[in-house]
């Protein structure tokens, strides 16, 4: 998603309006055939479970909490969805407004605009690689999400750049874009893993149906952010100014980051309590099948 | 091979969302589309994605992840090719409406592709 503007502007310069659509469209159609050959067929267990689900037969392994809305109703998962939506919102907030600002206020050409749009990609890719290593070892998913929200707040403050605090400079705007990539990677690498972690903690394991539900829930969270981001960006810029719009969104991120941190700290304490309860109430052999979140 | 194919497809599919950002507003402005609708046209993709996500979950349970993924990829590819053709319209209203329609089909396809890819991985 973050590479899109760079690809779009390069193809647009090379072949006009049609080129980006034709190239990406053809890539996707070719990918369809590749995927049909490469993606494996489902396992026997998955086919049985799907058959049971489509014929309303209760699945033996199901814990009754694996539909889309049931997964959404788990409080910590719903908070993570909001964080995912906020992350997407923060990333695409600039999409409809930054082009005109860079073209008219900073007198840049369309190629440079595409490059600036894609600056956050560099930091996003780099940070994702590092975070992947940290996530594998320590699994501090909710802390990374909270950190990502704080970074987003700072990034939006710089992306304006915010009036009263920073001068109107292209350098500060680019620094903001760099930080957007960092914040985005913090949240995106952790959100789906965090939801799986919570689900596993609550129900002991995930079923294929629960995996489908979590993937769909994450997708809808992203979509929600993508809906709100451009609309909010264009309307706020229309009513206020570009710089003020980013300043207000920065405050929104700061407030949400604080709320998220407070809630996750409570959740963490509750989980620790849950682990202790299970330690003292179950025999070691009974604990074997239960995978704790942390 | 599986992972790289899925990652490359997701890369192309997700870039479809934002690839129009650097050039679309100027082109739409030249066709007479009012600037306040840009955000709405951009958001059509995500609205469709948001609406389709719960349905995609049901489809994955019923038809399987692979079929949903392939359908989504094909759907998004065709919608992208269709969007190239709207350049031939002269009317600003037609340009905006057709853009919105194509973006909605793309968004639905992306919901299928993204959710099924996450579940498969």
Task: Give percent of chain B above pLDDT 90.
Answer: 3
The DSSP line for A167-223 is: -S-HHHHHHHHHHHHHHHHHHHHHHHHHHHHHHHHHHSS--HHHHHHHHHHHHHHHH
Q: What's the pLDDT band for A60 if we cut at 50, 70, 90?
A: very low
**Domain A65-287 classified CATH 2.30.30.100?**
no
CA dist A98 and A9 (Å) reads 14
Q: Is the pLDDT of residue B114 over 80?
A: yes
Report the chain B residue with the minimal C-alpha distance to residue A226: B46
The residue-averaged pLDDT of A276-284 equals 46
Q: A39 and B45: CB-CB below 8 Å?
A: no
Report the chain A residue with the minimal C-alpha distance to residue B12: A24
- Give the start-to-end residue ranges of the domains of chain A: 1-39, 65-287
> Is 0.80 topped by the overall pTM?
no
Whether the Cβ atoms of residue B25 and residue A58 lie closer than 8 Å to each other: no
Q: Is the pLDDT of residue A290 over 50?
A: no
Q: Which of B1, B16, B18 to mutate to test the interface with A (most CBs of A within 10 A)?
A: B18
Q: What angle do CA A188, B52, A30 make, to 5 degrees?
A: 75
Q: What's the pLDDT band for A287 if we cut at 50, 70, 90?
A: very low
Min Cα–Cα distance to chain A from B4, Å: 10
Q: Is the pLDDT of residue A54 over 60?
A: no
Q: Is the pLDDT of residue A289 over 70?
A: no
Task: Tell me what pLDDT residue B84 has.
Answer: 87
pLDDT, tens digit (0-9, with 9 covering 90-100), for A207-241: 778 888 888 888 888 888 888 888 888 888 888 88
Task: Give percent of chain A above pLDDT 70.
Answer: 81
pLDDT, tens digit (0-9, with 9 covering 90-100), for A83-125: 999 998 888 888 778 877 888 888 888 778 777 877 887 888 8
Task: Tell me what pLDDT residue A281 has.
Answer: 45
Task: Give percent of chain A above pLDDT 90.
Answer: 8
Task: Tell me what pLDDT residue A47 has.
Answer: 63
The DSSP line for chain A is: --SHHHHHHHHHHHH-SHHHHHHHHHHHHHHHHHHHHHSPPPPHHHHHHHHHHHTTPPPTT--S--SHHHHHTSHHHHHHHHHHHHHHHHHHTTHHHHHHHHHHTS---HHHHHHHHTHHHHHHHHHHHHHHHHHHHH--HHHHHHHHHHHHHHHHHHHTTPTTTS-S-HHHHHHHHHHHHHHHHHHHHHHHHHHHHHHHHHHSS--HHHHHHHHHHHHHHHHHHHHHHHHHHHHHHHHS-HHHHHHHHHHHHHHHHHHHHHHHHHHHHHHHHHHHHHHHHS-HHHHTTPPP--
In chain B, residues with a C-beta closer than 8 Å to the C-beta of A35 are: 5-6, 9, 66, 69-70, 73
In chain A, residues with a C-beta closer than 8 Å to the C-beta of B96 are: none
Whether the Cβ atoms of residue A161 and residue A168 lie closer than 8 Å to each other: yes
Q: B50 and A227: CB-CB below 8 Å?
A: yes
Residue scoring higher pLDDT (A152 or A65): A152
Q: Is the pLDDT of residue A176 over 80?
A: yes
Task: Tell me what pLDDT residue A51 has.
Answer: 58
- Pick the closest to residue A202 from A73, A291, A82 (CA basis): A291
Task: Tell me what pLDDT residue B67 has.
Answer: 86
CA dist A83 and A90 (Å) reads 10
Q: B12 and A28: CB-CB below 8 Å?
A: yes
What SS3 state is found at B34?
Answer: coil
What ipTM score was computed for the predicted complex, to two decimals?
Answer: 0.89
CA dist A101 and A99 (Å) reads 5
In chain A, residues with a C-beta closer than 8 Å to the C-beta of B83 are: 21, 25
Q: B22 and A8: CB-CB below 8 Å?
A: yes
pLDDT, tens digit (0-9, with 9 covering 90-100), for B65-112: 888 888 888 888 899 889 888 888 888 888 889 988 998 998 898 888
Here the tokens at position A6 are 């760079």
Task: Tell me what pLDDT residue A125 has.
Answer: 81
Task: Tell me what pLDDT residue A166 has.
Answer: 79
């Amino acid at each position: 998603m973050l590479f899109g503007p760079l690809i779009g502007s390069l193809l647009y310069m090379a072949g006009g309006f049609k080129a980006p659509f034709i190239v990406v469209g053809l890539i996707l159609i070719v990918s369809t055939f590749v995927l049909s050959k490469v993606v494996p067929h489902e396992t026997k267990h998955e086919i049985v479970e799907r058959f049971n689900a489509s014929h309303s037969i209760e699945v033996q392994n199901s814990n009754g909490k694996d539909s889309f809305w049931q997964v959404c109703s788990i409080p910590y998962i719903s908070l993570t969805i909001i964080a995912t939506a906020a992350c997407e919102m923060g990333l695409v907030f600039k999409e409809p407004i930054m082009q005109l600002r860079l073209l008219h206020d900073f007198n840049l050409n369309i190629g440079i605009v595409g490059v600036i749009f894609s600056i956050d990609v560099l930091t996003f890719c780099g940070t994702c690689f590092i975070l992947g290593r940290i996530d594998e070892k320590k699994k501090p998913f909710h802390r990374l999400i909270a950190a990502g929200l704080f970074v987003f707040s700072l990034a939006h403050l710089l992306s304006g750049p915010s009036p009263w605090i920073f001068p109107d400079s292209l350098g500060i705007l680019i620094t903001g874009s760099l930080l957007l990539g960092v914040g985005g990677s913090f949240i995106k690498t952790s959100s789906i893993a965090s939801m799986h972690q919570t689900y596993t903690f609550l129900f002991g394991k995930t079923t294929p149906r629960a995996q489908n539900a979590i993937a769909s829930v994450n997708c809808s969270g992203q979509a929600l952010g993508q809906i709100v981001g451009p609309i909010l960006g264009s309307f706020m810029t229309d009513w206020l100014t570009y710089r003020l719009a980013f300043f207000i969104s920065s405050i929104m991120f700061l407030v949400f980051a604080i709320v998220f941190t407070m809630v996750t700290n409570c959740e963490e304490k509750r989980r620790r309590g849950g682990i202790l309860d299970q330690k003292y109430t179950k025999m070691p052999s009974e604990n074997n099948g239960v995978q704790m979140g942390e | 091979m599986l992972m790289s194919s899925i990652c490359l497809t997701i890369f192309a599919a997700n870039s479809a969302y934002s690839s129009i950002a650097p050039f679309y507003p100027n082109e739409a402005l030249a066709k007479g589309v009012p600037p306040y609708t840009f955000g709405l046209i951009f958001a059509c993709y995500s609205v469709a994605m948001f609406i389709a996500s719960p349905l995609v979950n049901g489809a994955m349970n019923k038809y399987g992840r692979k079929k949903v993924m392939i359908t989504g990829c094909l759907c998004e590819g065709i919608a992208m090719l269709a969007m190239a053709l709207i350049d031939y319209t002269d009317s600003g209203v037609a340009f905006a409406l057709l853009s919105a329609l194509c973006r909605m089909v793309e968004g639905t396809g992306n919901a299928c592709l993204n959710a099924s890819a996450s579940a498969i991985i």
